[in-house]
Chain A
Amino acid sequence: MNDPLLRLDDLHKSFGGLKVSAGVNLAVRAGETHALIGPNGAGKTTLIAQIAGELRPDAGKIFLCGRDITRLAAHKRARLGLGRAFQVTSPMAGMTVLDNAVLAVMAQMGSPLRMWRPVRGEAAMVEEARAALARVGLAEVEEEKARDLSHGQRRQLELAMALAGRPRLLLLDEPMAGLGPRESRDMVDLLCGLKDHYAILLVEHDMDAVFALADRISVLVAGAIIATGTPRQIRADAAVRRAYLGEEDTPC
């Protein structure tokens, strides 16, 4: 119960001479929405890639639900409960929205090597896919091709795919990126609705969203976490202000 859902233990990663992760320590507790913020170039993308399993850290460990996943392949992490929404939307573009969601559900539901029964006939799977789409508001467009969606809808699909796999931890990489003011508000509402059901690691630049959603915030600067705390604590932290928010800025 007290074990964090995700724990990063002194992660190090270098590319040639460039140190991108310099001993990162982070923990996401069950049920908490933990935001990761930091200036551009801080190493957020590399960190996400290591958590997701696309990059192997040079040193350090990653624990998911108490299990050491440092050397575990990316697809196995998803099976263990890691749901991911990409920063640059990445659906199966030529397939329908429903098919995208079905694929997400299928990954958690037995073998993909079934060759006879039509997928659309598997009521349980299709219903669950539809539920995920409904949760993000994409029910109407289930037969549209993913590449024909608007930017906002693609963001919603990203979320749906992350949710459809029944994750325990959601890894959301800039879900607000490129959204207009109204769409942003909708997305924040949507994410608010998810807070109670999932642990979330939220990487974001949009400070309004961060302070509205986060239970705790970690600040990543030059490959290391310089502060972790509640939004109030982070607002007040002088080092954070200096490094990231800037002296003049008073986020609302």
Chain B
Amino acid sequence: MEASGRLKQLMRWLEGAMMAALALLPLIAQLAHQPFWLDLATRLVILAMAAASLNIILGLGGLVSFGHAAFLGIGAYAVGIPVHHSIYGGASWLASDNGLFHFALAVGAGALFALVTGALSLRTKGVHFIMITMAFGQMIYYLLESLETYGGNDGLTLDVRSALPGIDLDNPAQLYWLAFVILAGVLVMTWRLRDARFGLALAGARENARRMAALGHDVTRIRLAAYVLAGAICALAGALMANSTAFITPAMTSWPRSGELMFMVILGGAGRILGPVLGAGLFVLLEEALSSFTTYWHLPFGLLLILAALWQAEVFTTRSGGART
């Protein structure tokens, strides 16, 4: 975003303050006797991680993927399903409460789904790409809904949390700090990535894919790599989310959830490293504030989205040099 110097400084200050506050949040919440803040912050951090993963393909890569929430679900059920079987039996090859197994399964499943659907989706562009990613995302939603064994539409409660060596995920502060550390890792990765060959190539493909091909770059391969990376990270966020809420439903993967992730990325500044944190923070706060006023909080939220999109449309279009996806 071509923000003026002042605005950029303000954003940086906000981002810095937010990161500092988040790092210390369990202590702050305890001091203020507001355990609810910790719940909110955990949700924020996990959503920020999901948004940060989307930032790689959307912010850096310019790929408008509208099915990203599917990875949250994949990661969540990669925890929920093994836990379910570890308690209720069946599918012994899958049954486990081992957190490392859960996380590995989440990342693996997310990466695999991203690889297969990405390979198909990235053959298209523009309007088609948006629709196809949306369709694949929704496919996961219907798949999860159809799995009666795991609750289907009613969702699945996790009777135990993932068991990790040395970390007790039943302790909200420990879970929070684990999530925060992982988020920090993801942000550092995005930061390095952006200035490395990969980030430059992604940005180049966003600006002018045809020219990149003429130069000799395999644009599809570059984008697919980004897509798989983003999917894997988002699935990890989903696994953390399952542990945080201890209750998962297919609704986590519906396409309006994808829209919200996209909103977080855009709101915080697409392509900015800490943008997703800011965006997730604003979203979570907005959701809390508006829903405490009215159950119809989607109304002002929707209106805000429309106005923001109309206002920012020029910025979106010129930022990518007029290039459309």
Name A residues whose Cβ lies closer than 8 Å to a Cβ of B: 52, 54, 73-76, 78-79, 84, 86, 90-95, 99, 102-104, 106-108, 111-120, 122, 147, 161, 165
9 A-B residue pairs with Cβ-Cβ distance under 8 Å, sorted by A, are A74-B213, A75-B214, A92-B211, A95-B203, A95-B207, A118-B195, A122-B197, A161-B211, A165-B216
Additional A-B contact list (6), CB under 8 Å, known A74-B214, A92-B207, A103-B215: A93-B321, A112-B222, A115-B193, A115-B196, A117-B196, A118-B196
Q: With A106-B201, A115-B193 as given contacts, are A93 and B212 in contact (CB-CB < 8 Å)?
A: no
**Across the interface, which residues of B come within 8 angstroms of A119, CB to CB?**
195-197, 199-200
Find B200's partner among A54, A102, A147 (CB 8 Å cutoff).
A102
**Contacts A92-B207, A103-B212; is A112 near B201 (CB within 8 Å)?**
yes
From the candidates B189, B198, B208, B322, name the one contacting A91 in the complex (CB within 8 A).
Answer: B208
Do A103 and B217 form a contact, CB below 8 Å, given A92-B208, A114-B198? yes
Q: How far is the CB of A187 from chain B (nearest CB, A)?
A: 20
In angstroms, Cα B321 to Cα A209, docked, is 32
**B192 CB–A CB distance under 8 Å:** yes
Question: Chain B: how many interface residues by the 8 Å CB criterion?
Answer: 31
- Among residues 271 to 325 in chain B, which have CB atoms less than 8 Å away from a CB atom of chain A? 319-323
Q: A47 to nearest B CB, angstroms?
A: 16
User: Are B217 and A112 within 8 A (Cβ)?
Assistant: yes
Q: Which residues of B contact A86 (CB under 8 A)?
A: 211, 214
Cβ proximity bits B203-227 to A, threshold 8 Å, 1 near / 0 not: 1100110111111111100100100
How far does the alpha carbon of A52 sit from the alpha carbon of B198 in the complex, in Å? Answer: 25
Instruction: State A116–B213 Cα separation when bound (angstroms).
Output: 23
By beta carbon, the residue of chain B nearest A94 is B321
Asked whether, in the complex, the Cβ of B217 is within 8 Å of the Cβ of A75, the reply is yes
If A113-B222, A165-B216 touch, whether A91 touches B196 (CB-CB below 8 Å) is no
* Contact B214 A112, beta carbon cutoff 8 Å: no
When the two chains form their complex, are residues B321 and A114 in contact, meaning their CB atoms are under 8 A apart?
no
**Interface contact B198-A78, CB-CB below 8 Å:** no
Contacts of B192 in A (CB 8 A): 115-118
Out of A95, A107, A111, which one reaches B215, CB within 8 Å? Answer: A107
From B198, B199, B200, B222, residue with most partner A Cβ within 10 Å: B200
Closest-CB distance, A71 to chain B (whole angstroms): 16
Are B219 and A75 in contact, CB atoms less than 8 angstroms apart?
Answer: yes
A122 proximity list for chain B (CB < 8 A): 197
Chain B residues contacting A78 (CB-CB under 8 Å) are 213-216
Which of these, B193, B198, B211, B219, contacts A90 with CB under 8 Å? B211
A117 CA to B199 CA, complexed, in Å: 11
Q: Is the CB of A112 within 8 A of B198?
A: yes
Write out the residue numbers on chain B whose beta carbons fall within 8 Å of the beta carbon of A103: 200-201, 204, 212, 215, 217
Most interface-central of A54, A118, A120 (chain B CB within 10 A): A118
**Known interface pairs A112-B197, A114-B198. Does A165 touch B215 (Cβ–Cβ under 8 Å)?**
yes
Instruction: List residues of chain B with CB within 8 A of the CB of A113.
Output: 197-198, 222, 225
